[in-house]
Each structure stands twice: as C-alpha cells, then as structure tokens.
Structure 1
C-alpha cells in the first residue's frame, strides 16, 4: 500500500466514510508517517507502531523517552516519540502501543506536536 492510499484511507476515516483507521487497527501497526500525518484525528486514541529505536532518554520526569523510525516519511513525519515505563536500546527493533497526545507541552520549551504516552514496548 503506498502513502497516497494510506493518506486517502485516513482522510475517509476521519470524516466517517469508512470503518478503517490505519493507526488504530487492532491487528496491524500503522507506519510512523501515517501516524504523524493523522495526528489530529488520533488524539486520545491508542495507536500501534513498529520501528527501530534511534534515541533513548531514560528517567526524565519519571518516564523514559524513546524515538523510533520505520523508514516511512521524511524529516518531519518519519520519527515517533514515545514515553514508557519500559525502555529499549538504540538499534532495537520494537513494537509499541500507547495513547496519542497532540501538542503535549511539558513547559520549559518541551512541546511535542505528537507524543505516544504510557506505551508498552515489545521487542521484535
């Protein structure tokens, strides 16, 4: 499925014309690019994704921050930041499931346009 198909399905889903929501489908994770592109409609919903851990910051504000990428998207849509009580190492392939938060502001300049919070991490 190409990116245009994913974007079209996400658009149809956001206006209620289809029951398919790629980013919240229980049986398959969405691409990181499609999650970023659909972030407004995903606020408060559980999302699933898989990817390679590219950055880890443990123990920040009582949680671990991880960045994952799956090769989809570009510089603005190809990275997904998650928070979790679990952690992983840079280079690990993982699956995550967590709740999408849009425009999450921790103060002091730490604003996340999209953050997947309280994620569960499963090694692949």
Structure 2
C-alpha cells in the first residue's frame, strides 16, 4: 500500500495533493486510511496468528489442523485453510512433518553431472 509513503512525503514538506497526484492515488481513500490505518481484517488475522502461535509454543509437534483446534478452544475460530496459510507464512510446522535424508539430515544440493 502506498499510503505510508504519502505520509512520509508529507513529513518532508511535500504537499499531500501533489504526492497523491504523482502516485495516481485518490484523496478520499488516503484520508480514510489516515483515520484507521489498521483494518479489521488485519486485526482479526493478527489475533488468529497469535492464538496459533500460542498453541504452537505449547505443542510444537502439532500440525496446522491440531493448532487450529487449539486456537478455536482459545476463542479464535477460523477455517482450516486460514490456519494453514498463517502457519505456512510464519514457518510453524509440525516437528514430525519435516522430511530428512537417509542419515538424518536434510538433503543437500544435487551432485554435479560427470562430463
């Protein structure tokens, strides 16, 4: 979103009207954003992510489905796809779900081909 950039330009004594015109943004959405910079959807996603993170700290071996159930019990209901997306974005994976190589380590890069 370009609105924080407009606010920074305004702090540098560049008029808001000029900044919005150059960036090809409308005035009304900018002033609406200025009144409420954090949307309800972003706030709800943050609460859901917080509930998932708390559940992950308690039981790191759980996958996103069980973390979702724990978050619902804590009062943050969400769809399974939402729980997967939040877990995937933040890197909260099940301790048992990572694949390992034959010797217990992660597989490395491919070997170079022989000439």
Scaled by the length of structure 1, what TM-score is found? 0.27
Q: Which has the higher contact order (CA 8 A, sep 6+)?
A: 1
Bigger helix share: 2
Bigger strand share: 1
User: Whose radius of gyration is greater, 1 or 2?
Assistant: 2
Scaled by the length of structure 2, what TM-score is found? 0.28
